[in-house]
A and B are shown apart, each in its own frame.
Chain A
Amino acid sequence: MAGLMAGFGRYTHAIVRGTPESLAKGALRSSQAEVDVTIAQREHDAYVHVLRTTLGLEILELPADETLPDCVFVEDAAVVCGDTALITRPGAESRRGETEAMKGALKELNLNVVEMTDESATLEGGDVLFTGREFFVGLSKRTNQRGAEILADAFKDYAVSTVPVSEGLHLKSFCSMGGPGLIIIGSSEPAQKALKIMQQMSDHRYDKLTVPDDLAANCIYMNLPNKGHVLLHCTSEEFPESVKVFEKLKDHMLIPVSNMEKRKVDGALTCCSVLINKKANN
């Protein structure tokens, strides 16, 4: 056992879920954009392909559920850290059903599954930023204080700090981890403000990588054997300026992944998978 907080970014498994046809019309979104489900599905396939083939993760793919238009965004349904998995209670009522399949999958992986039964609590995984040393939980439209408290209860080893999210859907709509101690942050004022809060709340020092586009700040970082630092980020078609910033990360294996269609329904890269490190916990 590597011990507490060792191996940040090390993953062996990923849980993903198919894209339902209902996504086009049923998925929640902050804009009025039209979504082409076919393109979205193609993007998703490419995404899973990267995880499975390029990165060698073991993929657990849940079937899409047409009654749950947002079900492809599995991240919001669970928070996994170490071998503990917290089944969330999404703030959007239409998404509450997504947790059932997720719970089953997590139990199948022999994780300690903790459920959020408190009726007053809401939490979506998109509001949870795990830095390797601590959690930041965005208090947003989808996540409330009580949800954060339950998360803190589930992961007692770690400090859990709350960060108000005034704009954007989730905390991770404008930030994510780009490495151990490296926070990728959007350049908007709310994003920068949130970063300041996080820095103030933390006992640890974080470097920041500021990208021009908030949405581009959502990346997936992994630290994989034989591959080292891996960063899945947006494509240059989507955010050319931000990609230039990523390209400065010399130590990282950079993998652009297109997410154009899903972004129309506020789906970011991290939203589409739940990453798990099984071996570390055995």
Chain B
Amino acid sequence: MTTEAGSETEVKENAEEKSAVQLDQSEKTTEGTQEVAATEGEERQTEKEKEKEGKGITRYLPTWFKKQKSQSQTSPTKEVPPTEEPTIKVSQEEAHIPEVNGHAEEVEEKEAVGPQQQQVKEKESHSNASADTEPAGEGKVESAQKSLEGTEETTKEGAKEEKKKEEVEKEGGQGQTFIFQSPLRLVRKNKMKLVVCHVTLLDGSDFTCEVEKRAKGLFLFFKVCEHLNLLEKDYFGLTYKDHHEQKCWLDSTKEIKRQIRSNNWQFAFNVKFYPPDPSLLSEDITRYLLCLQLREDVASGRLPCSFVTHALLGSYTLQAELGDYEPDQPRPLDYISQLTFAPNQSKEMEEKILELHKSHKGMTPAQADCQFLENAKKLSMYGVDLHHAKDCEGVDIMLGVCANGLLVYKDRLRINRFAWPKILKISYKRNNFYIKIRPGETEQFESTVGFKLQNHRSAKRLWKVCVENHSFFRLNAAEQPTKARFLTLGSKFRYSGRTQNQTRLASTLIDRPAPAFERTSSKRISRSLDGAPMISITDTSREAENGREPHLELHSDSKVKEADLSPGSVEATPAQSPVRVRGDNIYVRHSKLMLEDHDKTQEEVLKHQASVSELKRSFMEAPPPSPPQLNLWEKRLTSSPAMATRVQQQTVTTEVEIEETVVVQEISKAPKAAEELQTQEVKDRDGAGLQKKHESVSSESESDEEAEYHPNVSVSISHTQIPEEKEEEEAEEEQGKKEKLTAASSPVEPEQAAAAVEEEEKQSSKEEEKKEVSTEEPMMTPDEASNGITSREEAASVAAEEEELPKVNGETSVVEARPQVICCSEPPVVKTEMVTISDTFAAQKTEIATKEVPIVHTETKTITYEAAQLDGSGDGEPGVLMTAQTITSESLCTTTTTHITKTLKGGLSETRIEKRIVITGDCDIDHDQALAQAIKEAKEQHPDMSVTRVVVHKETELAEEDD
């Protein structure tokens, strides 16, 4: 409660500020105080809603419909409430009431939006923005942000509004909405601080755009991609120079401001993942951009190649840019010498280039690009990202990260290579970088190879690059769900984008006509070598219109839906929220990885169940606006952000925002509901806890000197299980509270630690509460969908979280009841993970639940441990991360035990033992019994361990999906 109270007060302040802002910003500034009050109320509402949503979202997540509904509801609410409710809102600071009103109103409003409403909307948007702003201003910014993020959904809804307000942003179109949302939020009390970003594009030109100061990396990236008219954007990224002039990838999930060097908003657009086979790219424009990058790589010497290859690549460049060789062109060498093809470009080379150029006669630019890439891709250093390091003996080496794995170079020689499949774990500690190698055929033990990096930053940077490359190239969409879960363990940073497989899949959906684009050389156009006259369209706006305008419309629809739905979610219980917040934070951190997995699975499930969900919708709601109209293109756009969101855990705020984005997507796509749920959970927690913990959380993730990443772990398990399993129960253990305490005591993050402890304690109680609530909720859900309005105020107290639970409730409760938090005397770190039981069968309880709400999130502490492994592997070397995994698969039960020993900054060491028990089985299996048995056994084995969390995840339709 305390948190909420605080937030409320803040909100009030914010509201005031917002109102001011609104006045300033809103085009229709002249609204009366009433309006302002209304706006304030709205703001509050929205914030509360957000919080509630966030909290509720978690619970909420299980039901897609709910989300959808909620979303739709929320948007209307937001819109409507301002107009109608102003008085009420003014009087009532609490959002609950307004929300209710809003719901009712929303429906009406949706149909006919009057000018007032628009104004209101604007206000709302403003309010949202202001809300966002407020937090920052107040110092509780983080919490506010979270709330804002929650608001983002509303913002999305408000995208239309935004358009009005921000013409600039309008450029983006629907695809941009995501981005836009963030900017809107970004709007601060100071009237929205916009920052000018300079992005150096691959052709050397400078792209300038304004971005809200708090915008996340993704926003800017999308803006750039939009400007470039690039759809296959997953291969690309933005870089910036850090304080040490090191090139770093801009994390799309984090605020730009927090990553860049003080106020140096200078970026470069670059290829991040070099496709091993560029011919598989769908669009010529993508290949063209890749060519530009490679030309630069070659010319700068980053991509070494021989004289002949230089000449050959140069000749293709000429062909692509100039067209056929023209014998009558005067002194071609003079022209060529102005171009840079190689680090040491000689006349001889230029002559060779010209000579080869002649042989390309008749080749179109696109063909020339293809030939260029076909040759470039064979270069041994193609796509290899080199990092300076030293081996254990202090010898200078280079570590190269590429699509296939990790390469070790000494000077120019490759002295070792670790393919991704061979790597079990990637970690870093201080300035050390470690990879754990799978034992060879003849070897019995895993080996860990360590490298020394120049400093902690470079070690972390290398680690991140490895994690991202592994995820992008190695992970398969199909494999991801299982893998993701395991990956989740321990590490915080994850690749947030789509994998290569996913992006390829998405590329196949591109159905736009090949976009015309202007090559660097204007001569090209006049010649029209391509056969068809080249039309250079520099304006992004035109191009954008083709694919994007529809998006906008869709979005709006989705927004409406969201608005409708949101009220329910918003209604989260106030009392619970405060408590949860604390606990949630921790949860969030650890569970993030899990989220990915779930998301993926969920996505698939969603797709499969899309039809089901629609049925549900119709059942639940009379007017559920469905977004079936989405273009493939749009889908891609939407999907990508979502993906990113899920993965990112480091910055809570960021995640939250992204999550919101996800919601939008979900709206459009039924299948993604599950994802939403997860995200929502995160949001909830974040929102609640963000105020206090947000900073700490982020700091942890970022400040951590070590991190782990298990690329391959448990792949086998996942595979085997997935097809057959219908239900999975995972229980993960978290280390004792003591660890947390120690962490807290550590100099770095005292606040966090404390919070964490509290969280844990509270969690248990909360969880129980939640469970109880959840039982009731199943009933609620349907009601909410239909009504949404009446009982909300009261119901509002019932957290949105509860809503989520209902479906699973029965099972969940059982599971939860048994595991209790046990204090461990041992120093292990407590991890919280979400165990989700998605049960189709379980859903039987409620019709809706069955189909629609496959996933239930329950927070429970579960865990177990095997002392033997701890003793053996965990403690060995202080600096080295040791992980021992034991996988036992029995009939129903799969147990995975992970020991992770880390050294923290303070010199403290943290040992985490995680035991995950996955119970797989058909509907006829008594999960509860099985779980109880498993926990019992685990406790017997390791009495010291405490059960941190039990997550029940029922996945009904996985099998179908796989098919």
Contacts and interface: CB of A to CB of B under 8 A. Distances in A.
Given A3-B374, A157-B380, A162 B413 contact: yes
Interface stretch (B149-157, B228-236, B259-267, B306-314): B306-314
A149 interface: yes
Interface string B422-465: 00000000000000000000000000000000000000000000
B309 A157 contact: yes
Nearest to B304: A156
Interface string B702-732: 0000000000000000000000000000000
Interface in A1-49: 1, 3-5
Given A159-B414, A162-B414, A202-B417, A4 B307 contact: no
Interface string A134-154: 100100000001001100110
B308 A152 contact: no
Contact of B378 (A4, A137, A201): A4
B379 interface: yes
A83 interface: yes
A246 interface: no
Contact of A161 (B305, B356, B404, B414): B414
B411 A152 contact: yes
B312 A160 contact: no
B461 to A, nearest CB: 23
Interface string B42-54: 0000000000000
B307 A1 contact: no
A130 to B, nearest CB: 13
A161 B415 contact: yes
Interface in B402-426: 402, 404, 410-417, 419
B869 interface: no
Given A1-B312, A3-B374, A156-B305, A201 B414 contact: yes
Given A3-B312, A3-B371, A148 B413 contact: yes
A116 to B, nearest CB: 14
A112 B380 CA distance: 20
Contact of B412 (A83, A134, A152, A202): A152
Given A4-B309, A4-B378, A158-B380, A145 B413 contact: yes
Contacts of A201: 414, 416-417
Bin chain A's interface residue count: 20 to 34
A54 interface: no
A82 B308 CA distance: 9
A274 B817 CA distance: 78
B309 A149 contact: no
A251 interface: no
A1 B404 contact: no
A153 B301 CA distance: 12
A120 interface: no
A4 B304 CA distance: 14
Contacts of A152: 411-413
B933 interface: no
Contacts of B929: none
Interface string B366-382: 00000100110011110
A200 B408 CA distance: 12
Contacts of A158: 380
A108 interface: no
Contacts of B356: 1
A203 B312 contact: no
Contacts of A4: 309, 312, 375, 378-379
Contact of B379 (A145, A148, A157): A157
B308 A159 contact: no
A155 interface: yes
A157 B414 contact: no
B246 interface: no
A203 to B, nearest CB: 5
Nearest to A136: B414
A153 B412 contact: yes
B522 interface: no
A112 B307 contact: yes
A84 interface: yes
A84 B414 contact: no
Contacts of A159: 380-381, 414
Nearest to B403: A203
Contact of B306 (A3, A82, A145, A148): A82
Nearest to B408: A201
Contacts of B411: 149, 152
Interface residues of B, number: 27
B359 interface: yes
A1 to B, nearest CB: 6
A27 B416 CA distance: 35
A155 B306 contact: yes
Contacts of A145: 410, 413
B308 A281 contact: yes
A153 B304 CA distance: 9
Interface in A200-223: 200-203
A137 B413 CA distance: 9
Nearest to B418: A200
A112 B378 CA distance: 21
Interface string B771-802: 00000000000000000000000000000000
Interface string B351-392: 000001001000000000001001100111100000000000
Interface in B195-231: none
B378 A5 contact: yes
A160 B371 CA distance: 24
A175 to B, nearest CB: 18
A64 to B, nearest CB: 33
A115 to B, nearest CB: 15
B404 A160 contact: no
A156 B414 CA distance: 12
Contacts of A155: 306
A160 B417 contact: no
A202 B414 CA distance: 9
B321 to A, nearest CB: 19
B306 A84 contact: yes
A29 to B, nearest CB: 30
A203 B378 contact: no
Contacts of B371: 3
Contacts of A156: 304-306, 309, 379, 412
B409 to A, nearest CB: 9
Interface in B260-319: 304-309, 312
B103 to A, nearest CB: 58
A3 B372 CA distance: 10
A153 B415 CA distance: 15
B862 to A, nearest CB: 40
Contacts of A149: 411-413
Nearest to B276: A203
A201 B381 CA distance: 14
Contacts of B374: 3
Contacts of B416: 200-201
A10 to B, nearest CB: 15
A1 B359 contact: yes
Contacts of A157: 304-306, 309, 378-380
Contacts of B417: 161, 200-203
A3 to B, nearest CB: 5
A200 B437 CA distance: 12
Interface string B78-113: 000000000000000000000000000000000000
9 contacts: A4-B378, A84-B307, A133-B378, A148-B413, A155-B306, A156-B309, A157-B380, A159-B414, A160-B414
Interface of A: 1, 3-5, 82-84, 112, 133-134, 137, 145, 148-149, 152-153, 155-162, 200-203, 281
Given A1-B359, A137-B413, A149-B412, 20 more contacts: A4-B312, A4-B379, A82-B306, A83-B308, A145-B410, A145-B413, A149-B413, A156-B309, A156-B379, A156-B412, A157-B379, A159-B381, A160-B380, A162-B413, A162-B414, A162-B415, A200-B417, A203-B404, A203-B417, A281-B308
Which 4 pairs from chain A and chain B are nearest by CB?
A: A159-B380, A152-B412, A156-B304, A161-B414
